[in-house]
Amino acid sequence: MSDAIRVARVRAGAIMMNHARGGTGNPVVLLHGWPEFWLVWRRLMGRLTDHFDLIAPEWRGFGDSDKPDPGPATSTTPDQLADDLRAFLDALGLQRVGLVAHDVGSAAAQVFTRRWPERVSGLFLFNAVHAAVGRAWIDGGHYARLWYQGFNQQPWAARLVGLSREACRLYIGGMLASWSRDPEAFDDDLEAYVDNFMKPGNLQGGFNWYLSVQPWRVAAIGGPAPKPPPLASVPVRVLWGRHDPVLLATWAEGLRQFFPDIEVSYAENAGHFVHHETPDEAAAAVARFFSGPRVRWT
């Protein structure tokens, strides 16, 4: 870990949230997905510490943040994570920030931006969950790629994956490898991921996300789920990995109906984890966006 990156915990409402922080400049908050924790941002942070004050929190149930729900639970919703993020920013004294978000983090970031747009200078999304996906979650045989979502909701899943380091390595490592364009993209960090998910509560903490969003996903597939109105006051930049097997690149354009001030492009050599797989490209795009004229910091 770079000496420029510091790791600490801070009270955010009812929980303690762990976070990594480094750099100087305007504050940019990095919001991870699953199966991730703050370390997934290390490559990006190392390239941007001369440009921004970078803060990478870990969600409730993840990493070294608190686990308020030790057993299978449904409270890790996007709304709850948005509330946690607001409390986290308040605790750090940050009134207006840039948000960079991926996967789970993208869902929470969109909720946060809609509820408190005055606190968001700009929203940068890597491969994102959003309301326009609808039946595409299952159409065209895509349901077969989402088997892990059903598995993660089983009450015994965390116990099974956590039976041994080897079991955890096979499952978490299999996710990281199969969702990356290069199956070896996480090899150097794999043992750190196993260490993280073998900590008490961390497997179930992540699995709780899937339990919590299942009603929303079912409603989205069925059609009656409400879609949010357009939000034009916050500029949005999207960089989507072309080869993501679970959040398909064809879904990126659907974000346009929610964010009129948006730019969408694709990382042609990345899968699900653009920020880790192609960090030079990702860092350059983040730097251009948050240093550009579309983003207002005051």
Spatial contact of 128 and 100, defined as CB atoms under 8 Å apart: no
First to last CA, the chain: 32
Q: Is 103 a catalytic residue?
A: yes
Residue showing tokens 């100087």: 24
Q: Which residues pair with 18 in a beta bridge?
A: 9
Catalytic hit among 148, 171, 193, 210: 210
Kind and range of the H or E run holding 124:
strand 120-128
Residue 53 has φ and ψ, to the nearest 5°, of -85, 105
Q: Is 272 a catalytic residue?
A: yes
Kind and range of the H or E run holding 37:
none
| DSSP assignment letter at 70 | -
Catalytic hit among 64, 66, 69, 103: 103
Catalytic hit among 102, 130, 243, 272: 272
Beta strands across the sheet bearing 120-128: 6-12, 15-22, 52-57, 26-31, 97-103, 120-128, 236-241, 262-267
- Give the count of beta carbons closer than 10 Å to the beta carbon of residue 253: 13
Spatial contact of 44 and 30, defined as CB atoms under 8 Å apart: yes
Indicate which residues carry an active-site annotation: 103, 210, 272
